[in-house]
A and B are shown apart, each in its own frame.
Chain A
Amino acid sequence: MNEWNAMNSSEPDQMSETSPAPLRGGDLVLRLAAIGVVIAGIAGLFLYAGGWFNPHALSPATMITAFEQTSGKHPGFRRNHAKGVCVSGYFESNGRGVALSKAVVFLPGRVPIIGRFALAGGQPYQADAAHTVRSMALLFKLPDGEEWRTGINNIPVFPVNTAQGFYDLLLASAPAPATGKPDPAKMSAFMEKHPESAKAMQLIRSQPVSSGFADSTYNSLNAFRFINAQGVMTPVRWAMVPVQPFVPYHAPDSGQADKNYLFDALITSIQSHPLQWHLIITIGQGDPTADATLPWPPDRQQVDVGTLTINQVESEDTSPARDINFDPLILPSGMSGSDDPLLSARSAAYAESFTRRESEHKDPSAVSPAETGK
């Protein structure tokens, strides 16, 4: 640092030329103005790129604020899928995935996973209800240090196919201040504006609901691309299909004294025996990859590439999985996102949700360490 000063302040310089005569009036003003225009122009472009001139445009921040407006602000919690419990175990690949993807996860053998089961919605203390969307989030820790993260839901298709659609749905389902319930007029206006959502929701409602987390099938909904060692690209969707037999739900939720009955049933079953799911890859054949509201035909080829085993359960309060962002675009080499616009939107919105919750004080999870026995 001293050398620096010494060199920079080296004494009278022998520049071969001196500066020209000072500028006069008009010329000086003109040149000063030119400098001003250049500087203001660059600053303006910067602000424009950052969206400052368009604060109401749909952005990660406006999207996450919309969650806070519909569900209330619950510092420290995920802005969606707020109520959850953390798990761990392993994935055992049978090697059949290698033909589709060069991802290390598909080499025969076992990789450790951590994960999280959750209910959709931004309220961390909501009462469990059978018709609330259930989710499984997984982080596969691969031996070469790569990771595969995925968040999957127990519905057959997603209710929207664009970020704007999701935002409109959030606003339409916000509780009206007067009644505390969503305004039916807003909901029907939404359905009219988004016929794809009306169709998707019909399909979602027609699917039988299982008794709990353990016997649910979880779907990627978004399409992805697999790339194998030969460079062949295959459009895919995936699902975790339970080994536990499907039992239809029957008990009405209102009869449940335990507000955490779905989570408690999951905890009890993991503690008595490991739970298992088959990872099933569905291969697209000219099917829509950019529209998560559309199902793929049921006769598409499916490949069972391995088995997920979950044998540990832990409250969010003590698990590292609480502080993980299950960003669907954290993928190992050999997998990539498709042209589905929801994927980048999820990545951006989850990062914003993650940054907000990690900056906040943490309240205890509804599913406490006492319940998980840890």
Chain B
Amino acid sequence: MANNPTQFALLSRILHWLMAAMLLAMLFIGVAMVASLGNYHRLVAIHRPLGIMILILAAIRLVNRMCTTLPPFPPTMSPLERRVASASERLLYTLMFALPLVGWGMLSAGHYPIVMFGPWHLPPILPANPTLYAVLRQTHTLLAYLLFATFLAYLSAVLFHTLIIRDRLLNRMALWSTRSRKSKRSSTT
């Protein structure tokens, strides 16, 4: 199980799908809450702790990535495509850290308590400062839009491989193991 060379490690695959769902949810909650008077409070109360969960998971994920062997890219990907794919993965990792840190930092700079659940809250990571708050608040929006754009580009590429080239790129990340099917097939050929 641990050494299927064409698939990511199981923990990597679980983290991938869990965080994909959480990040997408955060993007939608984020844009919906700042446009809403009636649901603002309810949504922002979910947004803060969910964002911090993402920060924690991102740290686990980075360590996990450095400790496991990545499956090779399929041969259908050109060197250029591989470089673009690696660069976009690196950008996504950066954003997974930057967005929650900027969120936490902007609330610190805005002199807000960083409330998680009940009485549990986080300490400020930056001094209260109006200009710093304003810059980080802008940055939070910009990074969130950048994350969404990167996600769309990334999804387009994966769909292109899966539906057009049909090289089973998605299998690398499938939650189920794809080895058994493969070994069966190779034994029949």
Contacts and interface: CB of A to CB of B under 8 A. Distances in A.
Contacts of A355: 133-134, 137
A275 to B, nearest CB: 24
Interface in A308-328: 320, 323-325
The 9 closest A-B pairs by CB, nearest first: A50-B31, A348-B40, A51-B35, A333-B119, A359-B134, A13-B72, A344-B41, A345-B37, A19-B167
B162 to A, nearest CB: 9
B60 interface: no
A31 B86 contact: no
Given A16-B186, A355-B134, A7 B41 contact: no
Contacts of A23: 164
A46 B155 CA distance: 15
* Residue among A15, A45, A347, A359 with max Cβ neighbours from chain B (10 Å): A15
Assign chain A's interface to a size class. 35 or more
Contact of B110 (A32, A104, A147, A358): A358
A163 B156 contact: no
Nearest to B114: A145
Interface string A345-374: 101110110110011001000000000000
B164 A9 contact: no
B31 A49 contact: yes
A7 B70 contact: yes
A74 to B, nearest CB: 16
A320 B112 contact: no
B97 to A, nearest CB: 14
B37 A320 contact: no
A58 to B, nearest CB: 6
Given A49-B28, A347-B40, 4 more contacts: A19-B166, A39-B152, A51-B36, A348-B37
Interface residues of B, number: 62
B27 A28 contact: no
A46 B163 contact: no
Contact of B159 (A4, A35, A330): A35
Contacts of B35: 49-51, 57, 59-61
* Residue among B32, B130, B167, B182 with max Cβ neighbours from chain A (10 Å): B130
B75 A18 contact: yes
Contacts of B131: 358
A13 B75 contact: yes
A327 to B, nearest CB: 8
B152 A9 contact: no
* Residue among B6, B40, B167, B182 with max Cβ neighbours from chain A (10 Å): B40
B186 A349 contact: no
Contacts of A345: 37-38, 40
Nearest to A47: B31
Given A12-B75, A58-B37, A341-B38, A38 B164 contact: no
Contact of A163 (B38, B123, B137, B168): B38
Contacts of B33: 348
Interface of A: 1, 3-5, 7-10, 12-20, 23, 28, 31-32, 34-35, 38-39, 42-43, 45-46, 49-51, 57-61, 63, 104, 144-147, 163, 320, 323-325, 329-330, 332-333, 337, 341, 343-345, 347-349, 351-352, 354-355, 358-359, 362
A13 B70 CA distance: 12
Given A323-B128, A325-B110, A344-B38, A35 B134 contact: no
B38 A325 contact: no
* Residue among A145, A163, A358 with max Cβ neighbours from chain B (10 Å): A358
* Residue among B37, B39, B113 with max Cβ neighbours from chain A (10 Å): B37
B111 A323 contact: yes
A60 B164 contact: no
A10 B86 CA distance: 12
A344 B156 contact: no
Interface in B59-106: 66, 69-70, 72-76, 79, 82-83, 85-86, 90
Interface in B102-154: 110-113, 115, 118-119, 121, 123, 128, 130-131, 133-134, 137-138, 148, 152
Given A39-B156, A323-B128, A9 B79 contact: yes
19 contacts: A13-B75, A14-B5, A15-B72, A17-B168, A17-B185, A35-B160, A51-B31, A51-B36, A59-B36, A63-B37, A144-B119, A320-B128, A329-B41, A343-B41, A344-B37, A344-B39, A355-B133, A358-B110, A358-B137
* Residue among A19, A57, A341 with max Cβ neighbours from chain B (10 Å): A19
B123 A145 contact: yes
Nearest to A351: B40
Contacts of A39: 152, 155-156, 159
B123 A28 contact: no
A303 to B, nearest CB: 22
B157 to A, nearest CB: 10
A329 to B, nearest CB: 5
